[in-house]
Amino acid sequence: MRLALDEQIFAVQRYGGISRLFYEKARAFATNGTLGVDLEALDAPIVNEYVLRDADLVSRLQVRAAAGPYKALAHYFTRVRKQSPVDVVHNTFYLPRGLSEHRGAKRVVTIYDMIPELMPKTRRRLDFLTRKHAYLHQADHVVCISNSARDDLLSIYPDIEVPVTIAYPGVSEAFHPKVPPVPELPAPYILHVGNRRHYKDGMTLLKAFVAIAGEFPSLKLVLVGGGPLSQEERGLIAQAELPSGSVSQYSLPDSQVPSAYAHALMTIFPSRYEGFGLPAVEAMAAGSPLILANTSSLPEVGGDAAGYFPPGDHATLARLIAELLDDEHRRVSMTMLGFQQAKKFTWTGYAQANAEAYTKVLG
């Protein structure tokens, strides 16, 4: 079958979860002929580094580096695209322009989460330009990245009548335990990866760390990504009179993130809502014991391999961290369970589930 993606998310995100999903799926379709999906070229300027660093996919999609997101979006909104016949169009985001392209093809849309609808205060500028509801009502098939995302979708839009497929994202083979440590990371440490603001709830983790810091004086909290420490975070650290270097933020290249997971005593993901929660799978694949907030899709992802605490409950989280630090046998057991749980999530499986959705929509 002939599949058309669009460059929406590749024009907006240099890195990021949604663009990673479509990059991995496009890569799987381009390299695995047994999936039976032939990609239409994009022929567009983009900013996405996942695609731009993949020479084979650059050639296959006929893309090139844009001067920046605004230039890439301007091209997307104004161009006249020469379109060859395609069977299915799968839009990568919800900007209005995408609703008018590839008329006559079957239309598939992915729902990643319902965060803008459930948590309006977290909306970014781009969210105010999107037309998710219009995409849903023009869709012939909907793909959700978890059962939790599907349930939230149907609770907010109960009038959706088209079929819904669950396609779990995967984890890269780069995430495994046999990698050397990152020299600049202090040991021993517990780890958080990604954004910490708003619903990501990094303050709950920081409060929990403050609560146990006196009991474990050599322990460090390492924050990878998410930007420098905020004024609120710095204020809490100063108020707690933590020793210098107890909490550190690092911006690591992608190549070093697996090492950060692999050598952490544990990884904590306190987010109050996730459509899937890819860092949780990455942590398990790299061999890190895992603690998750018991909410949305996270129990679906972590299964029996992770420990759980009520979202926002820093006291319970502090107790779980302390118990796990004192129990090496349990940490080893969680690592073994995590390896098995992470094997359930592969990019080939993700691409296969999407290909099956296309087959269904073609009847």
Q: What is the mean pLDDT of residues 232-245?
A: 96
Q: What is the mean pLDDT of residues 121-129?
A: 72
**Superfamily (CATH) of domain 189-342:** Glycogen Phosphorylase B; (3.40.50.2000)
What pLDDT, on the 0 to 100 scale, is given for residue 101? 83
Out of 119-123, 138-142, 258-262, least confident range: 119-123
What pLDDT, on the 0 to 100 scale, is given for residue 125? 66
What pLDDT, on the 0 to 100 scale, is given for residue 83? 67
Q: What is the mean pLDDT of residues 92-119?
A: 91
Which one, of 250, 278, 86, lies nearest residue 172 by Cα? 278
What pLDDT, on the 0 to 100 scale, is given for residue 356? 97
Can you state the angle between helices 202-212 and 314-325, rounded to 10 degrees?
50
3-class state of residue 16 by DSSP: coil
* Cα R_g (the chain), whole angstroms: 21
Q: Return the half-sphere exposure (C-beta side, CA atoms, 13 A cut-off) of residue 314.
A: 12
Q: What is the mean pLDDT of residues 317-324?
A: 98
What pLDDT, on the 0 to 100 scale, is given for residue 1? 95
What pLDDT, on the 0 to 100 scale, is given for residue 197? 94
Give the chain's mean pLDDT: 95
Q: What is the mean pLDDT of residues 293-321?
A: 98
Global confidence as pTM? 0.93
Domain limits of the chain? 2-170+346-361, 189-342
Q: What is the mean pLDDT of residues 220-236?
A: 97
Report residue 82's pLDDT band, with 50, 70 and 90 as the boundaries. Answer: low
Report residue 286's pLDDT band, with 50, 70 and 90 as the boundaries. Answer: very high
DSSP per-residue codes, 297-320 = THHHHHGGGSEEE-TT-HHHHHHH
Distance CA 64, CA 42 (A): 10
Q: How many CB atoms lie within 10 A of CB 319?
A: 15
Which one, of 42, 41, 43, 46, lies nearest residue 67 by Cα? 46
Distance CA 221, CA 205 (A): 9
Is pLDDT at 239 greater than 80 in this prediction? yes
Name residue, tokens 């929990």. 208
Q: What is the mean pLDDT of residues 124-137?
A: 82
Q: Hey, do 2-170+346-361 and 189-342 end up sharing a CATH topology, with the first three levels equal?
A: yes
Angle at 257 between CA 110 and CA 319, to 5 degrees: 90
Is pLDDT at 104 greater than 90 in this prediction? no
SS3 for 274-292 is: CCCCHHHHHHHHCCCCEEE
Is pLDDT at 261 greater than 70 in this prediction? yes
- 2-170+346-361: which CATH topology? Rossmann fold (3.40.50)
Question: What percent of the chain is predicted at pLDDT more than 70?
Answer: 98
Distance CA 235, CA 269 (A): 22
